[in-house]
Chain A
Amino acid sequence: MTDVSKRVDTVKLVIDGVEVTAEKGELVIRVAERMGIAIPRFCDHPLLAPAGACRQCLVEVEGQRKPVASCTQTVAEGMVVKTQLSSPVAAKAQAGVMELLLINHPLDCPTCDKGGECPLQNQAMSTGRADSRFVEEKREYQKPIHISSQVLLDRERCVLCQRCTRFSEEIAGDKFIDLMDRSSGEQINVYRDDFFGGDGTGDGEVGDGAGDVPFNSYFSGNTIQICPVGALTGEQYRFRARPFDLVSTPSACEHCASGCSQRTDHRRGKVLRRLAGDDPAVNEEWNCDKGRWGFRYATATDRIMTPLVRDAATGELREAAWSEALLIAAEGLKAARERGVGVLPGGRLTVEDAYAYAKFTRTVLGSNDIDFRARPVRATGSSTAITEEADFLAANVAGGTGVTYEDVENAPSVLIVGLEPEEEAPILFLRLRKGHRRGNLKITAVSSYLSRGLEKLGAALVAAVPGDEAHLLGTDPAVAAALSAPGSLLIVGERLATVPGGLSAAAALADRSGARLAWVPRRAGDRGAIDAGCLPNLLPGGRPVTDPAARAELSLAWKVEPGVLPGTAGRDVDRIIAAAADGTLGALLVGGVDPADLTDPRLAEEALDAVPFLVSLEMRQSAVTRRADVVLPIAPAVEKAGTYMDWESRLRSFGAVLKSTAMTDGRVLEAIAALLDVTLNTGDVMAIRRELGALPGSTAPNPAQPAAEAARPAQPAGDEAVLATWHQLIDLGSLLDGDQVLAGTARPPVARIGKDLAESLGVGDGDLVTVSTVRGTVTLPAAITDLPPRVVWLPTNSPGSTVRRSLGVTAGAVVKLSAGVPGPILAEGAVQ
């Protein structure tokens, strides 16, 4: 950001006899709030456009005939405002509105989830009458009704403030809930056939009409959080707790790289719910449903609480004491050191834990064979000699890009490539949408189709066949135009790594246009792992392993002999897997990695099977723990302190929410190291932070940007197509295990094909389409979509569509298409 000090126009006004200076255009209710005057309100929300609907915040303004809503009234020079504190008129108006709000409210606070933290309850106490004069019958509705599998609505509690509908329209862009009917029958609801002659009573009670449309939003939980009454509740939390029995602990979301601040509410060692935290610089006051509700994995029944070792006699895993398990791990790794140990820490680590792996790998194992990237890092079938992404991360990402959420919101133009913001970085999506809604941010996306998320951003599409992105970045005039305005941003997602030359082209484009470049990975630990040194070519602090000065700096800081730190780049994830599979490596040390996330899950599992010694640091049973020689249980995020680094490179530190005996990865690694006579000093988060803080800044020159050739996309023929794929936000990811209600809000998996393919296959919307490779098949209902010719899109890891496991390929690969379910020959082929 250029630092232009803006002169802010101000006005002076008087509120309750006190003169105050306010920014021009500020709302009276906010100014009063700053002065410590709490005006009661319901519809008002600082992040939503003013509505003036509930009328609770009425104040008296001198010269105005009627009381005015302070949530819609902007300040003016010389204005004299009297709130309920100094104006009987305002006090009477507020008390009157409160009485009216309560006449049809059921006053069922003793059985309402909101009781104890309810703005209506609280403000009824502060502003209402002790007794109601209302003696007529109250309005009643069937209750509750599901407006999605997760969100419940009790209409009789609703005060029709429209915070939920305004959020859905203004912030999320998901206009699936709206006001229905009018007058005192007005209600919030989703679309239901029942309203229009479908079965039911006609007022939206029956929820199973064929045409009903649920509240299909990734951000629906926010409506529950901002509901000022108990009208909207979540299935997951309903009737589970009273707010005053809960302990609230600030936390950071462990799901994606957005870096949301959140609040975790727990009781007697159990998490009951999570809420969006308030961080204006990052997530403002929102989060996504995955972050809000995806926490049950930590209490899943397959959680590992005790170390496991493989019993020599039975060949089965058995429980073991920590001392035994650590010793076996240490000895096994020591023995394997000569042949080599590959380290796959995964992308879900805190910066502290990632640093522990990085340091362990270098100082204990004497290796650079470490890679946090648990995903495809190059195109299917590309040579592993190409290190384009690692080079890009070293040159363009390590140390920070400087691009922030605020920059995104204020940019004139953003070009997105290799990223589907709503699915892969939902809070970045919200900020892009905010910029778009304010009318100043133009968004252009290089992608295979204009997704619903991109539509909500008003994005212009540069249609790309997967694999062609690098070429488009270099040549497409719309791409160049999108970055022509000063202050434009180029945001690339981790998926661009699978496009040969993609990241090189992006870096070159940024240079050429002057646009700043940001890189957005998918997992919460990905960004931090780079700076922590979890890449084969980078030491902590973004130091290139090949730079002697950089190694020397670190040797000094780590107090290790010169020469301990290897000076050549290690193996990356694909090469580690290959070297393990072919018997080169003596051991693997694996953190939270699911082999199904890797380019070729089958090869990865072969590698895990083949490697002589396998140490797994895991929280729950997995494909890795099943094959491990030693399993060392580690703590989930909720039971440890740490720091995530979000895509902006912003640190998101958090303390342990729950008391637990579970250990961090760093502490477990420290214990192994100790048995191998190395003092790792990673057992304590504060110690790591001190050590990281004391590391000198890297003096190594920035490594060169990659300059890989742009390839042209594959040329499918006959019944073939090019595969496009990315993850859906709510999918089969292991951190979403254990929550069927949340899974119910997932987008239904479909195979997207263009009209050309639909015609040649003879399928219509909803007909089954089978996508196959020599590895296997995926069969899903077709969704005819405006895609480039001969492109098929599949969700990467959704029910019925596990692309990597079932097809063994990633985006850009050529796949075969057929109508219907696979025939017997194809099905046979699948198991070859």
Chain B
Amino acid sequence: MTTVEFSPAAEPLAAKLLEPALEILARYPAGRERSALLPLLHLVQTEEGFVSPNGVAFCAELLGINKAQVGAVATFYTMYKRRPTGEYLVSVCTNTLCNVMGGQEVYDQLSEHLGVGHDETTADGRITLEHAECLAACDYAPVVTVNYDFTVDQATPESAVELVENLRKGERPTPARGARICSLREMQYQLAGFADPRDGAVADGVAGAPTLRGVRLAQEHGVTVAGFDPDTPITKTKPRVTEEKK
């Protein structure tokens, strides 16, 4: 695997990405390296900002598959962008619940304000806008994410515009529940399966009130589940055989 001869199209990316790419491959059993394709495509986006033709070539050559096979995968998933992206990807959930809670207005306002439509990037290269499908945060509806981190909860057109204005000014506002903002390309590195290299980023973001609503209510009212004994024995019918492992 390490002795792949890259074509001129793939070579420049290989020079930069081969080392992390091989780390990705090692996560999967020998002979099953194709599993690395999704993380590899994320990895390509760290350098290219999108899945570029050269990125397709790099993945295909590394995995020993055809470019059509890589293309088939790269065109299937929403998070693989096929045109250059901005520094930040701003996603507004406009799926039904967020939509009726105001997400559509938020998106429309942002689109008008930024002068770009879905999957388009502002001329200054700062922001790519998209309307997203359900982001699994309906209790905070409507939500806006920056590079997929939850940044504005219960968004309004005004709070969303403020967000993008700050981003365009070069500021990085503190997200509501995600880690401190990085660039979209840096985020792709994490999507490729690598730990967030920023000190303390993993500690960022505290649980919001809706998340804790039920459990707080129980705490406030002293409601617990009775009868929990961590030493409750497990019925043993067979001896524990160590040889069986492996």
Q: Which residues of A contact B (CB under 8 A)?
A: 175-182, 189-193, 195-198, 202, 209-211, 213, 765, 784
Contacts and interface: CB of A to CB of B under 8 A. Distances in A.
Contacts of B159: none
A191 B50 contact: no
Interface stretch (B70-78, B162-170, B217-225): B70-78
Contacts of B71: 178, 180, 189, 191-192, 195-196
Contacts of B75: 180-182, 195
Interface stretch (B60-68, B175-183, B189-197): B60-68
Contacts of A191: 56, 66-68, 70-71
A213 B53 CA distance: 11
A135 to B, nearest CB: 25
A197 B53 contact: yes
A191 B66 CA distance: 9
Nearest to B5: A784
B151 interface: no
A197 B82 contact: yes
A214 to B, nearest CB: 10
B103 to A, nearest CB: 21
B20 interface: no
Contact of B82 (A190, A196, A213, A784): A196
B110 interface: no
Nearest to A784: B5
B50 A178 contact: no
A195 B76 CA distance: 11
10 contacts: A177-B68, A179-B72, A180-B72, A181-B76, A196-B82, A197-B50, A197-B82, A197-B84, A198-B53, A213-B68
B106 interface: no
Contacts of A193: 53
B53 A209 contact: yes
Given A195-B75, A195-B82, A197-B82, A178 B68 contact: yes
Given A195-B82, A197-B50, 10 more contacts: A175-B65, A178-B69, A181-B75, A182-B75, A190-B68, A191-B66, A196-B51, A211-B57, A765-B5, A765-B7
Contacts of B70: 191
A400 B71 CA distance: 48
B68 A196 contact: no
Contacts of A196: 50-53, 55-56, 71, 74, 82
Contacts of A198: 53
A355 B51 CA distance: 63
B83 interface: yes
Nearest to B73: A178
A216 B55 CA distance: 21
Given A193-B53, A195-B75, A211 B69 contact: no
B9 interface: yes
Nearest to A190: B68
Nearest 4 A-B pairs (CB), nearest first? Answer: A178-B72, A191-B67, A191-B68, A193-B53
B118 to A, nearest CB: 14
A181 B76 CA distance: 5
B57 A176 contact: no
A175 B68 contact: yes
A595 B57 CA distance: 44
A215 to B, nearest CB: 9
Nearest to B82: A196
B82 A202 contact: yes
B38 to A, nearest CB: 15
Contacts of B5: 765, 784
B68 A176 contact: yes
Contacts of A177: 68
Max chain A C-beta neighbours (<10 A), residue from B9, B52, B71 = B71
A180 B69 CA distance: 9
A175 B69 contact: yes
Interface in B113-163: none
A176 B52 CA distance: 19
A193 B74 CA distance: 12
A175 B9 contact: no
B83 A197 contact: yes
Max chain B C-beta neighbours (<10 A), residue from A176, A177, A196, A198 = A196
Nearest to A755: B5
Contact of A175 (B51, B56, B66, B83): B66
B68 A211 contact: no
A327 to B, nearest CB: 61
Contacts of A180: 71-72, 75
A193 B65 CA distance: 16
A211 B50 contact: no
A765 B8 CA distance: 10
Given A213-B66, A213-B67, A197 B52 contact: yes
A189 B5 CA distance: 27
A193 B83 CA distance: 11
A190 B70 CA distance: 11
Interface in B80-104: 82-84
Contacts of B51: 196
A181 B70 CA distance: 12
A144 to B, nearest CB: 18
A162 B83 CA distance: 28
Interface string B23-59: 0000000000000000000000000001111111100
Contacts of A190: 68
B84 A211 contact: no
A207 to B, nearest CB: 14
Given A197-B50, A202-B82, A211-B9, A182 B66 contact: no
Contacts of A211: 9, 53-54, 56-57, 67
Given A196-B51, A209-B53, A202 B66 contact: no
Contacts of A175: 65-66, 68-69
B243 to A, nearest CB: 31
A178 B71 CA distance: 8
Max chain A C-beta neighbours (<10 A), residue from B7, B76, B83 = B76
A176 B66 contact: yes
Contacts of B54: 211
Contacts of B52: 196-197
A181 B5 CA distance: 29
Contacts of A209: 53
A177 B75 CA distance: 14
Nearest to B51: A196
Max chain B C-beta neighbours (<10 A), residue from A178, A197, A198, A213 = A197
A362 to B, nearest CB: 54
Given A197-B52, A213-B67, A213-B68, A182 B74 contact: no
A784 B7 CA distance: 12
Contacts of B72: 178-180
Contacts of B66: 175-176, 178, 191, 213
A412 to B, nearest CB: 22
B76 A182 contact: yes
A216 B14 CA distance: 26
Nearest to A177: B68
Contacts of B74: 195-196
A195 B53 CA distance: 8
A196 B52 CA distance: 5
Contacts of B82: 195-197, 202
Nearest to A180: B75
A562 B76 CA distance: 78
A283 to B, nearest CB: 26
A326 to B, nearest CB: 57
A654 B217 CA distance: 87
Nearest to A147: B68
A196 B7 CA distance: 18
B71 to A, nearest CB: 5
B83 A202 contact: yes
Max chain B C-beta neighbours (<10 A), residue from A178, A189, A765 = A178
A192 B66 CA distance: 12
B170 to A, nearest CB: 26
A193 B67 CA distance: 10
A219 to B, nearest CB: 15
A575 to B, nearest CB: 47
